[in-house]
Amino acid sequence: MEILTAISPSVITPRPKKETIFNLSGQGIRALKKADFNGYNGETTLDLSRNCFHYVPKWISDLPIAKLIVSESASRFDLFFEAEFRKDIVVEAYKMGLEHPPKNLDPTQVKCEIDFSSHDYSEQFAQEGTATI
């Protein structure tokens, strides 16, 4: 009995899942359709960079992804994420000229040339909003 009480159960921490990528980069995609994802097999990163779509539907965030890459979008429109898009997904959006985080995303999860979570960005945005002519 003394031996059993002296041994504490070990806690097993699962290893972080290795990053795997489902790559649809540069495919000329203008609209995201479920049929484009027939080969998806649970990868952790979805690379949709260098395509032409401007709307990201919520069902993309229903996939078990941790990161979505939409960098270098060729769409002439701003990228729009459907309401209720999962907020915990990291969205990489480099070389897109973003001045503000896309609507419906957590600014701290958007990675681009601007750090939307920084004090400097918050201060500049507050000043722009209160400027008078």
Could you state, in chain order, the average pLDDT of each consecutive group of 10 residues for the chain (133 residues)?
51 71 96 94 97 95 96 85 95 89 90 84 65 45
Please say whether the beta carbons of 53 and 74 come within 8 A.
Answer: no
Longest dimension (CA), the chain: 81
Within-domain flag for 6: no
What pLDDT does 131 receive?
A: 45
Within-domain flag for 9: no
Within-domain flag for 24: yes
| Element spanning 4, H or E | helix 2-6
Those residues with Cβ within 8 angstroms of residue 94's Cβ, 6 or more apart along the chain or in another chain: 71, 72, 111, 112, 113
Within-domain flag for 11: no
**Which residue range(s) make up the domain with 104?**
17-129
Within-domain flag for 82: yes
Determine the Cα–Cα distance for residues 35 and 14; give it in Å rounded to an integer: 33
Q: Give phi and psi for 81, each to the nearest 5.
A: -105, 130
Number of domain units in the chain: 1
Strands 45-47 and 55-56: unpaired
Within-domain flag for 47: yes
Determine the Cα–Cα distance for residues 103 and 55; give it in Å rounded to an integer: 11
Within-domain flag for 75: yes
